[in-house]
Structure 1
Amino acid sequence: MFGPMILTLVILAIASVLFISGKVRSDLVAIGALILLMLFNILTPAEALSGFANSVVIMMIGLFIVGGGIFQTGLAKMVSRKLLKLAGTNETRMLIIIMVVTAGIGAFVSNTGTIAVMMPIVVSLAMSAKTNPGRLLMPLAFASSMGGMLTLIGTPPNMVIQEVLSAGGFNEISFFTYTPIGLVCVVVGIVSMLFLRRFLPQNEKDEGGRRTGRSLKDLAKKYQLMQNLYRVQVSAHSSIRSKSLQELDISARYALNVIEIRRKISAKNQFFKTINQEVAGSNTIIQEEDIMYVYGTFERVQEFAQDFDLTMLDHQIAENKRMSGTEQYATEEMGIAEVMLTPTSRLINRLVKDSGFREKYRLNILGIQRQDQYILHHLKEEKMRFGDALLVQGTWRDIAHLANESDVVVVGQPIEESRKVTMDNKAPIAVGIMLLMVVLLVSDVIPAVASVMIAAVLMIVFGCVRNMEDGYKTINWESVVLIGGMIPMSIAIEKTGAAALLSEGMVKVLGGYGPMVLLAGVYFTTSLLTLFISNTACAVLFAPIALSAALQLDANPYPFLFAVSIGASMCFASPFSTPPNALVMSAGRYRFSHYLKVGLPLQLIMGIVMVAVLPLFFPL
């Protein structure tokens, strides 16, 4: 048995060194360790691959999709705005508020579920406050674990020691027995993070901004979109009804460009799409209540509206109240992009009106940038030149198709830009799905993994995530493979007897030095082992040993079992030790070294405080 045990520990040591060095991708290291455990017959293929069937891994996949829905519907942005008002842009206040709120949720929801709710909000908050998300996401992950210590149901190890005490004939723990100790954990964690955050990734300027072209807001500002974009609504008495844009010839008569028409198609269910958007073409027939997006000077738009008995809409009132606050020039379906003419483009030296641009590409030209000059009006009579940048508007799909043409080069990535536009009208659905997930997780009516999977499927079915492909793109597969690959390592450590040997040896060595030393030994051995095996498995392994050791010394077993529960849960020094640590790794752009610099000191501080405090709550 010692041969497989030594091999397992050697593989674990090599993997740890590679994780710390950061020179090899973490998911590749995990798969490499997995392969070695199979090659040396330490694990069977079924055991080695069991990590990818583990409920934690499946939950992670589901949570990424749920998070994507919370982002894409703008729900994260809405909540983050409220937090931003409360915290301002002060990083210290943001960190404290995030950790307190997260710990509060974590008291009743699993730490993985807590991350699902909070991570999109925190990333959105960081972006709004122009702060590196890495400054806030690791504190978020740690706070979700600390919150689990506030109640009996907060984390699985709490339930494990409850069962062990009950089986041993001792009084069971009540729902809030953990609360005083949990509060100490949260306070220690927050205070420690205020000092340890210096080791988190620093705020950096976005070096990639230039590579992807101007943002939607930048384009709108440069081309003065909001100063030249007006909305008019067709009334019941308007003479424009039932006529095509070709008949009206608005561009020639008023020097205006009708770029888009939004039409109400259903009012039966407020949660589903009620506005149809389409690029205005020459054959478009105007209908009553249509909202026309007209590009041009205010005077000409006003003249146009008066001539045809149209209603000019106030800029602050959106045609669909749920869409208020979104950019009028970009939605989940329609967008804008900047394109450059290539040297061989057939559009060079052609007038805009003769280019057939709208007919061929189904896109409108809203403006032309020529060197430092912006041409925004009377575009139809403008001749296009090599080097011109054109601002075009239409559906994201058509803009993406334009990128395949040889006449122009699309600046930036249209599909990526379209994903940045939130579907605010779907936010109520996302709220409902998220609340359903939380209720299912708290009530424990069905398994947690099923609750998350239901929420993920509903996010896609109800369009909170645009489509299945977008759902797959929200998943960070590196984190999934990392956790799936490292879970079998805990099986190998237990199977080869390494875990049992360590725990029993600890009791033999420390038992003779008195209960306080043994308590410290139980806590820190549990804390060390939980770096390599799951906190639940660690608690299952150590709880009976701690109970037995306490009884041998004729000591109160409660502080020893609480030491097991807390030591197993307060694991911060490794990205794969808990699901929250792994979930924030990609979004925070953390390396293994960040967990060592921030998480390891926090884990040691928490251990020292807990060993000192536990005898105060439960005398030895």
Structure 2
Amino acid sequence: MLITLVILILSAAFFVSGKVRSDIVALCALIGLLIFQILTPDEALSGFSNSVVIMMVGLFVVGGAIFQTGLAKMISSRILKLAGKSELRLFLLVMLVTSAIGAFVSNTGTVALMLPIVVSLAVSAGMNPGRLLMPLAFASSMGGMMTLIGTPPNLVIQNTLTGAGYAPLSFFSFLPVGIVCVVVGTLVLLPLTKWFLSKKGGNDEGSLAGKSLNQLAKEYGLSSNLFRLRVLNDSRLIGKTVIELDIRRKYGLNILEVRRGEVSQHRFLKTVTQKLASPDTTIWVGDVLYIRGDVVDVNRFAEDFLLEMMDGHTTEEAANADKSLDFYDIGIAEIVLMPSSRIINQTVKEAGFRDKFNVNVLGIRRKKEYILQDLGNERMHSGDVLLVQGTWQDIARLSKEDTDWVVLGQPLAEAAKVTLDYKAPVAAAIMILMVAMMVFDFIPVAPVTAVMIAGLLMVLTGCFRNVEAAYKTINWETIVLFAGMLPMSLALEKTGASEYISSSLVSGLGSYGPVVLMAGIYFTTSLMTMFISNTVTAVLMAPIALQSAVQIGVSPVPFLFAVTVAASMCFASPFSTPPNALVMPAGQYTFMDYIKVGLPLQIIMGVVMVFVLPLLFPF
């Protein structure tokens, strides 16, 4: 028992110091338990096959798909538009929308998604972003308390309960507790943020990121002379290639892109294929041609080949149309020509960007001048910035030719940010299916199976650009940390350490009744979470809470809920949860800001929960 406690204390010390990655600490603790033969290899590695760990992997994939398809951003931005310019309404909506998304998606992902939206809304409402960003982080943690999958500590107590032979909790068993957390949090944060955070945060939305793809498109005026033409059944260019049309010489137009919507038998499985208009691209019925040029020439071309103009017949009408260059498969980037470049003084046509790299040059920025017409014959100068268009892989390939130019930004990183918004309905349907399988008992599917099915469907239906993108959404540090620390609770139980700690708690507080004992467990967990991650704290405290309840002969459910709430509701430190740390630079907060706002909230939440939990889950 002594060795187990020493390993536990050393692990906690390393977790607190933060000098060693948490997953490495967990693996070192695991190896320590193996070396001293406290656990057998099968027992030590049982965490990696635990259904909770597998469920967490699946949930990372499902959450990643919800972001990749733009579903979460679409929902949150539309709801937040309801706030208008009212500070109170904006504050309340941020709390409600964030907690609602946090119920189904990891709190870190929720904050990463909502942060730019909230900053943008605060700036447009003339409100200080600092007043909203800390509540945003706290609301994501509160929302996690609403469902079984909302936060890892919820899965930990479910695992502890079922492991001890008790009936499992349902998907929405946590909902009443989560609602109380959100209500208490909103009521307490409303005055606290006004008193302490009103002058915090001065970032505008532009300072949070570099030049976005849409900003580039706007800067070069790509949409102002961009027209869309649809190929009809009787169009005269069906089956012809781009080179046969000779559109540049005859009409002075450029075909930038051919978009082909491929719809399977089920409309939810729709895919969008984007092709650069290469000379050998063949045009088919239903294709949409993205063409740049003068509106008169575009109209003439459309009439000659019987094409449907999808935008207005004048430049003004077209500018107001709902059209833009999307970047699913095709992207844009800027490249700067080096003084030593071999292509200086060559024309764009002579440089052969199309032949050598399969990219189009859409514009040239020369000092403050933008050159957009007759680019093929334009001679390039040292220091010119070229806007190029091509597939993301071809643009990334340009960065290897670093002797002639430098690619600004990271094309593949930009590609990863592009949302596949036409897949949002698919992601929504899969998420609803997953929740339905977990909520309704008449569907004979275990929660872990439901999550695995949902994760696989997200990949198979194309909600990710590729399988690698799905793997990248998994936070392996969290998974290894969790799987590595789960056997620690087994070691504590096996050596009698958890029984010893729980006996100490029971002998000290048990005589005062179950409420006082539960309060002791709650505030011990709350204190530990200020220094150790909430997942690790829950893994360590859950078996102790269970033993304590068993020793005094009461239901362990309220005790385990005390552990998960205390582990998740940690607001007094920027380092206790990833969301707290995420908003710190954007809100320009100091450590004392978390003490002023988070500590009172953490204490009030604890006091409320000590009285509410026995009412919701009787002893």
Q: Into which bin does the TM-score normalised by the smaller protein fall?
A: 0.7 to 0.9
Decide which of 554, 559, 564 is 1:564's aligned counterpart. Answer: 559
Q: How do residues 323-472 of structure 1 correspond to structure 2 at under 5 angstroms?
A: 328-405=324-401, 406-443=403-440, 445-472=444-471
Q: State the shift of 1:204 in Å.
A: 4.7
Q: Which residue number corresponds to residue 319 of structure 1?
A: none
Amino acid at match of 1:115: V
Change in Cα spacing, 1:374 to 1:10, as seen in structure 2 (3 Å) is: same
Paired letter, 2:302: A
1:10 is aligned to 2:13: no
Give the corresponding residue for 1:127. 116
Q: Is the 8 A contact 2:364 2:372 kept in 1?
A: yes
Query: 1:333: Cα distance to partner?
Result: 1.1
Deviation at 1:140, TM superposition (A): 1.4
User: How many residues in Structure 1 have an aligned counterpart in Structure 2?
Assistant: 580
Separation (CA, whole Å) in 2 of partners of 1:81 and 1:236: 39
How many Å apart are 1:474 and its aligned residue? 1.4
| Aligned position for 1:225 | 222
- State the 1:293 CA deviation: 1.4
**Closer/same/farther in 2, CA of residues 588 and 230 from structure 1, 3 Å limit:** same
Structure 2 residue 30 is matched with structure 1 residue 34: yes
Q: For residues 415 and 431 of structure 2, what CA distance do their matches in structure 1 show?
A: 24
Read off the aligned partner of 1:409 and give its amino acid letter.
V
How far off its partner does 1:268 sit? 3.8
Q: Is the 8 A contact 1:504 1:545 kept in 2?
A: yes
- Residue 442 (structure 1) shift: 1.4
Give the C-alpha shift of residue 141 in structure 1. 2.1
Structure 1: gaps spanning 5 or more residues:
168-172, 317-323, 552-556, 576-580
1:239-258 equivalences under 5 Å are 239-258=236-255
2:543 aligned with 1:546, yes or no?
A: no
1:84 aligns with one of 80, 88, 92: 80
CA contact (8 A) 1:370 1:388 kept: yes
Amino acid at match of 1:139: A
Q: Give the whole-Å Cα distance in 2 for the aligned partners of 1:54 and 1:301.
A: 62
- Report SS of the residue matched to 1:494: helix
Match of 2:144? 144
| In 2: Cα distance, 1:337 partner to 1:611 partner | 56
Q: Deviations over 1:268-310 (max 9, x none)?
A: 4323345543211233344444322111222332333344443
Within-5 A mapping of 1:53-64: 53-64=49-60
The alignment partner of 1:469 has SS state of helix
What CA distance in whole angstroms lies between the structure 2 residues aligned with 1:42 and 1:351?
A: 74
- Whether the 8 Å CA contact 1:104–1:147 is kept in 2: the answer is no
| Deviation at residue 160 of structure 1 after TM alignment | 8.2
Instruction: Tell me if structure 2 keeps the 8 A contact 1:102–1:144.
Output: no
Deviation of the 1:125 alpha carbon: 3.4
Which residue in 2 is equivalent to 1:321?
A: none
1:573, 1:596 within 8 Å by CA — same for their partners in 2?
Answer: no
- Aligned CA distance change for structure 1 residues 88 and 144 (closer, same or farther; 3 Å): farther
Change (3 A) 1:548 1:339: closer
Cα deviation 1:226-257 (Å, max 9, x = unaligned): 10211223445554444443343322233221
Say if 1:185 and 1:75 are closer, same or farther in 2 by CA, change over 3 A.
closer
Matched position secondary structure for 2:334: strand
Q: Is the 8 A contact 1:259 1:295 kept in 2?
A: yes
Counterpart Cα distance in 1 of 2:450 and 2:578? 18
Structure 1 counterpart of 2:227, one-letter code:
Y
Are the structure 2 counterparts of residues 515 and 184 from structure 1 closer, same or farther at C-alpha, using a change threshold of 3 Å? same
Letter in 1 for 2:118: A
In the aligned structure 1, how far is the partner of 2:149 from the partner of 2:468?
A: 38
Deviates more, 1:427-436 or 1:125-134: 125-134
Is the partner of 1:570 in helix, strand or coil?
Answer: helix
Q: Which string of whole-angstrom CA distances, capped at 9 and with x for unpartnered residues, describes residues 381-415 of structure 1?
A: 21112211111112222222222234332211221
Greater alpha carbon shift after TM alignment, 253-262 vs 449-458:
253-262
**Residues 505 and 199 (structure 1 numbering): CA distance in 2 closer, same or farther, change over 3 Å?**
farther
What secondary structure is seen at the aligned counterpart in 1 of 2:345? Answer: coil
RMSD of aligned Cα (Å)? 4.6
> Are 1:15 and 1:33, in contact at CA under 8 Å, matched by a contact in 2?
no
CA distance in 1, matches of 2:139, 2:602: 13
Gaps of 5+ in 2: 121-128, 314-319, 571-575
Shift of residue 367 of structure 1?
Answer: 0.7
What displacement does 1:430 show?
Answer: 0.9
Identical pairs, percent: 44
2:295 alignment partner, one of 298, 303, 316? 298
User: 1-side partners of 2:409 and 2:617: how far apart?
Assistant: 62
Confirm or deny that 1:115 pairs with 2:115. Answer: no
**Partner residue of 2:65 out of 64, 69, 77:** 69
Q: CA deviation at 1:419?
A: 2.1
Q: Is the 8 A contact 1:4 1:496 kept in 2?
A: no
AA in 1 matched with 2:276: V
CA contact (8 A) 1:522 1:563 kept: no
How far apart, in 2, do the equivalents of 1:238 and 1:298 lie?
20
Q: Distance in 1 between matches of 2:303 and 2:330?
A: 28
Describe the SS at the equivalent of 1:340.
strand
Whole-angstrom distance in 2 between the partners of 1:176 and 1:122: 22
TM-score, length-scaled by structure 1 = 0.78
